[in-house]
Structure 1
């Protein structure tokens, strides 16, 4: 059965539920679906049918009552074929088995790299499919390991590729897309043992913790962590802290409340990484609202009682931090010197941060221009000119632009100061020195 026909049949099956959600708005959609079914039955040109169905889906996604249901349908159809094939007779998916040896692997034939992402999360459990293993509601701190496959051929550096329903890609292709393959929960002791053994087998005994921002699912956070590990050529082990973002653009204030609630859980996860797994250094990349959990945790780092031989904080990267600039400056003074180096990436073209400033009334620490944050002990990098093709309009520029990924590689792998990184030039003056990308 073609993907077009599968989608058409799935929408027809959803008809009664969409009718309940849309009420008087539904009849035209129902009639159009019936018409499309008739055209399919008459063997109409597949390309014409596909374009008509495409337009119908776009309109349904613009209907708020139906949007979530249709988005869920698209996600189900885009789920990896392997995951769909494990559906049991009860209609659920068998929980994935955590691999005995958790190490990165490379398929030499396809160039696909599979990365273990050791996670901590305070999200509530969802179902047993990898895409919805954790939802957006708050839960308790849990640990485990996820497997993420990342193609290295035919994918641009920084690109977080996924199936495009408007291209009628309903099945994830490991050779084209970054895929969350499995998610497996582990008890605390098993998590520590598994991570410690995996790290001992690595060529580099450092770990990298990624903390995502607002409006991010667990699936996309894990995919981004895997993509960063591959594109940064990180030779240690990759960790993810996924706080319970609602993953809904309409729930910004809900996420704000949750990131504050999540701080103690992130602190416990960071202490575990520093003190229990045999790491050399712990590096952190925090994005957007996720910076709040990190910076509020670092405020208390000097009071921690870590065991002898604990790891040190290496590179801390604040990427596009959505936190009050004045509050950032206050806290930065308290954690000065806690890490080998602290770096702040800012942009004057980041529309998400400009919107946040509009909501809060004060500049955000991730803004550049007149609001650029320059603090003693932090290397501030103005990324506004990193790409003239509207880079700043995309809040995730930190993980998607080659120049910034190269710069983070030089930071983490090479431990280079800004004055030794070729793409950067000194800006400002002696009292307010920062760095910017060469035009």
Structure 2
């Protein structure tokens, strides 16, 4: 047991040494001059937001701790012409250059959920939106840039929303993040109910621990007598879900109506979920299950990316970072 905790400590310490992504604001830039693509990302967040900056929603201080009040906004992200599928071209220590890097061009705060909903576009009159719920150890900049990358690489035409819940953004904050999932349930419920009232159709994509937040919230909506709102959900995809298998089954059986289609993306090469299993004292997590037969009674499609090459080193974000996986999942979602 001592050896296990020693290995975990080393892994977490190494992870903590790397530089973290930050939103880089570059104003006065014409994207056409660089042949860049602009991806608009809407944000609903219960992270604490420091006041006093004219571009508050663009600053890293947007969401390092919990806030009982939800903030709403948007950020326009410029994606460089040299972008490679699955990558986020961070500036790192270099000067942000829209010809080479992901950068933010502009942003806006909304005073209320109503103002936020009114500003969500309906391209071609379509009511569809994509709601992304990030996972463990993710700061606000990483959540926003990742969604911009996903929307671009998957060629999404519908507006995309990042529900940026208060992850500590620290690999040592696993327990803090699990508590933040509980903290965030009511606010995600409020957003989903608001979208349903606005007659939106919502595709939910959740990654890692964000899957736990989504399942808890859907269960909460169902058992509180608001299940009609779940009919606005046109699909759910749990990517590398960091959920105990027994807990997932209990959650799923209380959700009525159960969203369909419902997809779970798994991989036996997911090292991050291996560490999560050690931390929680379980053989595996839902996103790395070997035998999915226990889920057979649920209307769920399981996509196994274990043999897909490339992607991130931990094998935890293959669905977003491996070009072959992006092509596969994009083809599956095309009517």
Instruction: Quickly name the TM-score band, shorter chain normalised.
Output: 0.7 to 0.9
Which of these residues, 301, 321, 326, is aligned with residue 400 of structure 1?
321
Q: What secondary structure, in the 3-state scheme, does the structure 2 residue paired with 1:120 have?
A: strand
CA contact (8 A) 1:160 1:227 kept: yes
TM-score normalised by length of structure 2? 0.83
Residue in structure 2 matched with residue 137 of structure 1 by the alignment: 65
Q: Cα distance, 1:411 vs. partner?
A: 4.2
Distance 1:300 1:333, change over 3 A: same
Residue in structure 1 matched with residue 9 of structure 2 by the alignment: none
Structure 1, unaligned stretches of length 5 or more? 1-60, 86-105, 415-439
Distance 1:109 1:208, change over 3 A: same
* TM alignment of 1:188-203, pairs within 5 A: 188=112, 189-195=114-120, 198-199=121-122, 201-202=123-124
2:311 paired with 1:380: no
Residue in structure 2 matched with residue 172 of structure 1 by the alignment: 96
- Comparing 284-293 with 130-139, greater Cα deviation is found at 130-139
The separation in 2 between residues aligned to 1:371 and 1:340, in whole angstroms, is 18
Q: Cα distance, 1:109 vs. partner?
A: 4.9
Paired positions, count: 312
CA RMSD of aligned residues (A): 2.9
* TM alignment of 1:21-420, pairs within 5 A: 79-82=24-27, 107-126=31-50, 128=53, 130-139=58-67, 140-151=69-80, 153-165=81-93, 169=94, 171-188=95-112, 189-195=114-120, 198-199=121-122, 201-202=123-124, 204-276=126-198, 278-279=199-200, 281-302=201-222, 303-304=225-226, 312-335=232-255, 338-362=258-282, 363-370=284-291, 374-375=295-296, 376-387=298-309, 389=310, 393-414=314-335
Q: What secondary structure, in the 3-state scheme, does the structure 1 residue paired with 2:48 have?
A: strand
Distance 1:226 1:284, change over 3 A: same
CA contact (8 A) 2:209 2:242 kept: yes
Q: Which has the higher contact order (CA 8 A, sep 6+)?
A: 2
CA contact (8 A) 1:286 1:294 kept: yes
Structure 2, unaligned stretches of length 5 or more? 1-12
TM-score normalised by length of structure 1? 0.64
CA contact (8 A) 1:282 1:311 kept: no
Q: Cα distance, 1:121 vs. partner?
A: 0.5
CA contact (8 A) 1:344 1:381 kept: yes
